[in-house]
């Protein structure tokens, strides 16, 4: 049985109840975060919590907890769910007023806070030589103009991901004005002639914590990476394509719209970078948090 945190208490997941008047339910008026837990240690928690605060600011929802309080809640939830490898989910909504009305509730109601932890399996990054790689499709990016906010309003992402799955692919790479933005739940990296490119930080993408770490590790190991616009057509001509996210690390994409990328298998740069990435993760997550 897993335990969750809801509005101030740790309880059995099966006992958690949220009002149908909750603005998260009625308007998708809320934000979320996902923090990976590796060896029982929260990975890059400070960065995730900073982004959570930024998302709350973006929606003008006052943060119900300070960063040290969030950190302690996260650690306690990890402890209560046995540690190991987890995906820690956090959601904050504008709360549950008596009346359904578009403007923010007045008087203000307390935000709803929900946190859960689900076990996850290690990504292929941990065993690069055995990795097979995944297919992706491209789709129009039909999302709103503030994709930098980690809002729970994810319907276009859900539909895009489902369309990818229905076509036997693992991810939909989204295209706006002929340019790659990101995946339905990942950031995108394109490798050509040994150079890594990734779309620049903007309101069109979520600035992934894994994306930032990849940039940091490239800098540290003097691997050429530039943040630049990537045209859709470049995808088909890439040597390698990677997608990144907190729970899946860095995943190699070996076909896009059924066209083979590189040799149609995970590339050499991905394999060597995957090792560096996992080494870093292990070095950070072997200490007790
Ligand atoms: N882009 C989108 C749209 C996402 O939903 C996610 C993760 O959920 C990411 C990128 C990757 O972000 P992170 O590396 O912080 O998990």
Per-residue pLDDT tens digits for 46-85: 999 999 999 999 999 999 999 999 999 999 999 999 999 9
Q: Across residues 8-20, what is the average pLDDT?
A: 98
pLDDT at 149 over 70: yes
Q: Across residues 245-274, what is the average pLDDT?
A: 97
Residues 147, 44 within the same domain: no
CB count within 10 Å of CB 135 equals 19
Least confident of 95-109, 120-134, 140-154, 269-283: 120-134
pLDDT at 32 over 60: yes
Confidence of residue 234 (pLDDT cuts 50, 70, 90): very high
Provide the pLDDT for residue 35.
98
pLDDT at 30 over 50: yes
Confidence of residue 289 (pLDDT cuts 50, 70, 90): very low
Provide the pLDDT for residue 161.
98
* Minimum CA distance residue for ligand 1 atom 4: 185
Expressed in angstroms and rounded, the spacing between residue 264 Cα and the centre of ligand 1 is 25
Residue 77 structure tokens = 């939830």
Provide the pLDDT for residue 230.
98
Q: Where are the alpha helices (DSSP H) in the chain?
A: 23-27, 45-58, 67-80, 155-166, 209-220, 232-236, 268-285
Q: Across residues 144-167, what is the average pLDDT?
A: 98
Q: Across residues 145-152, what is the average pLDDT?
A: 98
| CA–CA distance, 199 with 201 (Å, rounded to integer) | 7
Residue-wise pLDDT tens digits, 169-182: 999 999 999 999 99
Does the beta carbon of 125 lie inside 6 Å of ligand 1? no
Confidence of residue 133 (pLDDT cuts 50, 70, 90): very high
Residues 194, 256 within the same domain: yes
pLDDT at 288 over 60: no
Residues 99, 212 within the same domain: no
Supply the mean pLDDT for the chain.
97
**Angle between helix 45-58 and helix 209-220 axes, rounded to 10 deg:** 130
Q: Across residues 92-109, what is the average pLDDT?
A: 98
State the CATH number of the domain containing residue 151.
Answer: 3.20.10.10
Expressed in angstroms and rounded, the spacing between residue 272 Cα and the centre of ligand 1 is 23
Domain that holds residue 149: 125-285
Residues 70, 110 within the same domain: yes
Residues 214, 281 within the same domain: yes
Q: Across residues 19-39, what is the average pLDDT?
A: 98
pLDDT at 286 over 90: no
Does the beta carbon of 55 lie inside 6 Å of ligand 1? no
Provide the pLDDT for residue 287.
57
The domain boundary, picked from 121, 146, 162, lies at 121
Residues in the chain: 289
pLDDT at 206 over 50: yes
Containing 179, the helix (H) or strand (E) segment is: strand 179-183
The domain boundary, picked from 86, 104, 121, lies at 121
Residues 93, 168 within the same domain: no
Residues 145, 276 within the same domain: yes
State the CATH number of the domain containing residue 27.
Answer: 3.30.470.10
* CA-based nearest residue to 115, from 158, 71, 55: 71
Ligand 1 binding pocket mutation candidate from 45, 206, 217 (most atoms within 8 A of CB): 206
CB count within 10 Å of CB 55 equals 23
């Amino acid at each position: 049985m897993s335990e969750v945190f809801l509005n101030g208490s740790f309880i059995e997941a099966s006992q958690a109840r949220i009002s149908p008047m909750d603005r998260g339910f009625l308007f998708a008026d809320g934000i979320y975060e996902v923090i990976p837990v590796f060896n029982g240690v929260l990975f890059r928690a400070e960065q995730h919590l900073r982004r959570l605060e930024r998302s709350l600011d973006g929606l003008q929802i006052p943060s119900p907890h300070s960063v040290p309080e969030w950190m302690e809640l996260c650690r306690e939830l990890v402890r209560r769910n046995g540690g190991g490898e987890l995906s820690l989910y956090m959601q904050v909504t504008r709360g549950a007023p008596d009346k359904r009305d578009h403007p923010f509730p007045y008087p203000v109601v307390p935000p709803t806070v929900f946190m859960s932890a689900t076990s996850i399996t290690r990504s292929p990054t941990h065993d690069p030589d055995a990795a097979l790689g995944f297919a992706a499709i491209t789709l129009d990016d039909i999302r709103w103009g503030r994709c930098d906010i980690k809002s729970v309003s994810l319907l276009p992402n859900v539909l895009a991901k489902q369309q990818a799955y229905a076509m036997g692919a693992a991810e939909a790479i989204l295209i706006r004005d002929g340019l790659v933005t990101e995946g339905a739940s990942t950031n995108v990296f394109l490798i050509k002639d040994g150079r890594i490119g990734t779309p620049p930080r903007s309101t069109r993408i979520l600035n992934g914590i894994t994306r930032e770490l990849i940039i940091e590790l490239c800098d540290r190991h003097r691997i050429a990476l530039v943040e630049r616009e990537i045209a859709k057509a470049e995808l088909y001509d890439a040597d390698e394509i990677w997608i990144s996210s907190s729970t899946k690390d860095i995943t190699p994409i070996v076909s896009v719209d059924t066209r083979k990328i590189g040799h149609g298998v995970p590339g050499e740069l991905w394999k060597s970078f995957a090792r560096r990435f996992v080494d870093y993760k292990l070095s950070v997550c072997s200490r007790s948090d």
